[in-house]
Amino acid sequence: MGATGGPLLELSGVRAAYDGITVLHGVDLEVGAGQVVALLGPNGAGKTTTLKAAAGVHPISGGRLLLGGRDVCGARAGELARAGVCLIPEGRGVFPNLSVRDNLWMMTFTGRTREEVEDAAYARFPVLGDRRAQAAGTLSGGEQQMLALARGLTTDPAVLLLDELSMGLAPLVVADLYERVADIAREGVAVLVVEQFAAAVLKIADRAAVLVRGRIPWQGHPDGSLHAELSSYYLGSAP
C-alpha cells in the first residue's frame, strides 16, 4: 500500500477505445507499494491497452485513473513518467545498433550522470557490465530484457509497468528475470505485470487478475482455483 495507506496505482471502471471501438469495458485494478500484480489474459484481451492507460500513454474514455490516491486523468504521460511511472513496453525497446553503454547513456536525461546510471545498472545486472561495449542488438533476449529493465529503473520508478516480459525467452531466463522483478518490488515499487504465459509470473505475484475481452471476470490471490479457471478463460468456455 502507498504512503496514504491506499494503493499507488488504481484503475476504477476504466474504459478505453481505439477509433471509437471500445476495448476496455470498465477495468478495476489496484496495485499497492511493494506488490506484484499479474494481469493475465489471452491475446487481444486488452492487457497492453490497460498498461498504456495506466501509464497515461493511451487516453481513457471513462472511469478514473488514480496514482497515489490522486485522479490523474488528463495528465500528460511525460508528467506521470517524471513523477515515477515507468512503462517497459513489449519488445524491450532498446536501441539495437547502440552499445549497452550508449543505451544506458540515453537515460541521463533523468538528471543522473552517466557513471551513476551505469553503476546502478551493472550493480543490479552484472552481466550487462561484461557486455558494456557490445551492441544491444547482439545481446541474448534475456540480456536485452535486462537492459530494458535497467534503463527503466534509472528513472527511480514508484510504479513499474511491465509488458510481456517473457516474450521470446527461455523458461529459465524468464524465471531469473521474474526473480529480479520480485527484488524490485521488495524495494517498495508497485509492479503491474502483463503476461500471456501465467506460470512464471504467478510464482512471484501477490495478486492476479484475469482480463478477458476488456473485462476482469476474476481477480484475487493466485492459488489453485485460479489455475483451474485460467484455462477455461483462455479457451473461452468460462462465462
Partner 1 sequence: MTSSPAPEPRAERFVRELAELKIPDPAVARAALWLRLGGVLMAVGLVLGAVAFPLAHGTDNSLAQGDALAVGLGGIAAAVVGAALFLRYSLTGFLRFWLARQSYDLELLGERLTTTPPTTSLPEGDPRNGVPRTDPAPR
Binding region for partner 1 (CB under 8 A): 2-4, 8, 33, 67-75, 79, 82-84, 156, 158-159, 187-190
- Beta-bridge partners for 192: 37, 161
State which residue, 79 or 183, has the beta carbon closest to partner 1: 79
Whole-angstrom Cα distance, residue 194 to residue 99?
Answer: 28
Q: How far is the CB of 185 from partner 1 (least distance, A)?
A: 12
Grid cell, residue 97, equals: 545498433
Closest contact distance (angstroms) between CB of 128 and partner 1 is: 23
**Smaller CB separation from partner 1, 74 or 239:** 74
* Least distance from partner 1 to the Cβ atom of residue 30, Å: 14
| Distance separating the N- and C-terminal Cα atoms of the chain | 32
Residue 152: closest CA among 194, 176, 181, 132: 181
C-beta of 14 vs 158, nearer to partner 1 = 158
Please name which of 222, 208, 206, 221 lies closest in space to residue 34, comparing C-alpha atoms: 206
Exposure of 191 by Cβ count < 10 A (0-12 exposed, 13-18 middle, 19+ buried)? buried
Residue number, 73 or 135, with CB nearest to partner 1:
73
CB of 186 to partner 1, least distance (A): 12
Shortest separation between residue 51's beta carbon and partner 1, angstroms:
18
All three cell numbers of 40: 493475465
Residue 82 contacts by C-beta under 8 Å, 6 or more apart in sequence? none
- Closer CB to partner 1, 61 or 99, in the complex: 61
